[in-house]
A and B are shown apart, each in its own frame.
Chain A
């Protein structure tokens, strides 16, 4: 996972970047580089603008100010080098649709027309099989999404993001609504897949601790600003107090877990609904 293994331009370059809806900034003044192959946890309270960062990288939202480069070019919608897994709640869990067909959409769902039965399918089938096997979903990929557990669905969504062989993986709260055991398994899986495929990963999460053994960097979004760096340098009392502009204490336990105390989430950061996301 060492960032220096990978040559070329950084996966993400942000310079004095500001994001927001209309002319109201959600956060601003963000400057950071993410080297290729890094595993980044995007942390911060609800509504602080974590998903907003992903939406900018996906080219769905134009920066309010500053410069942003993704894989050496300006962000553009539909960039095939980016794999994206949105928050799981946007998928109707009762839908009568197979897991494998969901993964297939990641391969050719954006193309118009339909795949005729006489078109060659060997290459497509191989890509599908590889993606499904990479996430360990081979045994249930043919079942209906509605008949799967939350963890199984999450794995298939990951397979869908991987099937197009992206270089950058954006995961929006993949650990939400998973139990502790499943969270650990999911983190392990993402980290293994990322290492094998030399992916750069940005993973939005609420809690640093399930991720602390696998991540290289933390992107902490709070109070309209972003702090960026290695976890033991960002998730500290000094940096977070400065970020929040209020006294925040970070406690480190004997196993290296970090706990942020002293912040009343909702009062400090009233939730800002973003257009285009479902309530």
Chain B
């Protein structure tokens, strides 16, 4: 979890610091996978915030936890378990329907069950504490070259699918009734988006872990939403911010013996707090969403 390059010291000569950092294979893998995950998380995250499906993202990561733990028990790469369970979870959530009143309750119930299942799988596996720890909190420094290939492939699918459904998804998110009247397949798009979200969650879990997934998937997009209202720019800002947090977090983690996930999440939180202060809303809490009379 911490940079294993013991004895690395910061020299203020940024160029030599960087080249020293990048001389390690695991650091190169970490920077690359962080970059891929940031692009995916920024693009998908904007839509998570716009569609207000943060809870679904949260739940999917917990479903992924059970999958990853199950894969460890079976002796296969956890990323496959993550992908399988996240995609399955997305299909189930999509079939619940968008406006089902007790949808959040159902998601919460399944989430709790999946966490329980994950705990069982972890206990079935002997070396459970390290595996559990890395699934829950991420293990970016342990990304192997084959993990990187999977991350790149999954990330590419996610980005291409977001690009393909960009406009109709935006339409359905903002103004569903008119979108449906204009022949936008809102229901299908909702499922397609959840599946894409599942891919994003699966790759992001590798970097920040199940419990810290919001730091990349929601926080940068929430900051972007405050800084700009243009959808395209908001996505670009979210990607840039996710990239800045994860790369900077990695670089700091290289010199300090604390978890990289801690630095990434702290930077994301800092960015959010600054954005709140800068947009003049302080820490006191945003006004509640207006409930318009019916």
> What residues make up the interface of A, taking CB atoms closer than 8 Å to B?
58, 60, 77-78, 82, 84-86, 88-98, 101-102, 105-106, 108-115, 144, 160-161, 177, 278-279
B179 within 8 A of A: yes
Known: A77-B183, A98-B230. A91 touches B168 (CB 8 A): no
Known: A89-B293, A109-B168, A113-B163. A84 touches B174 (CB 8 A): no
User: What are some 7 contacts across the A-B interface (CB < 8 A)?
Assistant: A78-B181, A84-B177, A91-B175, A106-B182, A109-B175, A114-B163, A160-B175
Write the chain A residue with the least CB distance to B225.
A96
Annotate B144-185 by CB proximity to A: 1 below 8 A, 0 otherwise: 000000000000000000011111101100111111111110
Q: B50 is contacted by which of A96, A109, A112, A115 (Cβ under 8 Å)?
A: A96
Contact residues in B for A161 (Cβ distance below 8 Å): 178
User: Is the beta-carbon distance between B290 and A93 smaller than 8 angstroms?
Assistant: yes
Q: A93 is contacted by which of B168, B226, B292 (Cβ under 8 Å)?
A: B292
Q: Which of B101, B176, B181, B292 has the most CB of A within 10 A?
A: B181
User: Is the beta-carbon distance between B289 and A92 smaller than 8 angstroms?
Assistant: yes
CB distance from B235 to the nearest CB of A (A): 10
B294 within 8 A of A: yes
Write the chain B residue with the least CB distance to A277.
B177
Known: A58-B181, A96-B229, A101-B230. A109 touches B167 (CB 8 A): yes
User: Is the beta-carbon distance between B183 and A98 smaller than 8 angstroms?
Assistant: no
B231 within 8 A of A: yes
Q: B168 is contacted by which of A86, A101, A111, A177 (Cβ under 8 Å)?
A: A111
> What residues make up the interface of B, taking CB atoms closer than 8 Å to A?
50, 99, 101, 163-168, 170-171, 174-184, 225-226, 229-231, 234, 287, 289-290, 292-294
User: Is the beta-carbon distance between B178 and A84 smaller than 8 angstroms?
Assistant: yes
User: Is the beta-carbon distance between A177 and B231 smaller than 8 angstroms?
Assistant: no
Write the chain A residue with the least CB distance to B172.
A109
Contact residues in A for B177 (Cβ distance below 8 Å): 84, 86, 90
CB distance from B208 to the nearest CB of A (A): 24
Q: A109 is contacted by which of B171, B226, B234 (Cβ under 8 Å)?
A: B171
A268 to B175, CA, bound (A): 33
A61 to B177, CA, bound (A): 13
Contact residues in B for A160 (Cβ distance below 8 Å): 175, 178
User: Is the beta-carbon distance between A98 and B229 smaller than 8 angstroms?
Assistant: yes
Contact residues in B for A105 (Cβ distance below 8 Å): 167, 170-171, 174-175, 178-179
Write the chain A residue with the least CB distance to B290.
A93
CB distance from A211 to the nearest CB of B (A): 21
Contact residues in B for A111 (Cβ distance below 8 Å): 167-168
Known: A98-B229, A111-B168, A278-B99. A77 touches B181 (CB 8 A): yes
Write the chain A residue with the least CB distance to B286.
A94
A85 to B230, CA, bound (A): 23
A276 to B231, CA, bound (A): 27
Write the chain A residue with the least CB distance to B293.
A177
A86 to B177, CA, bound (A): 7
A111 to B183, CA, bound (A): 10
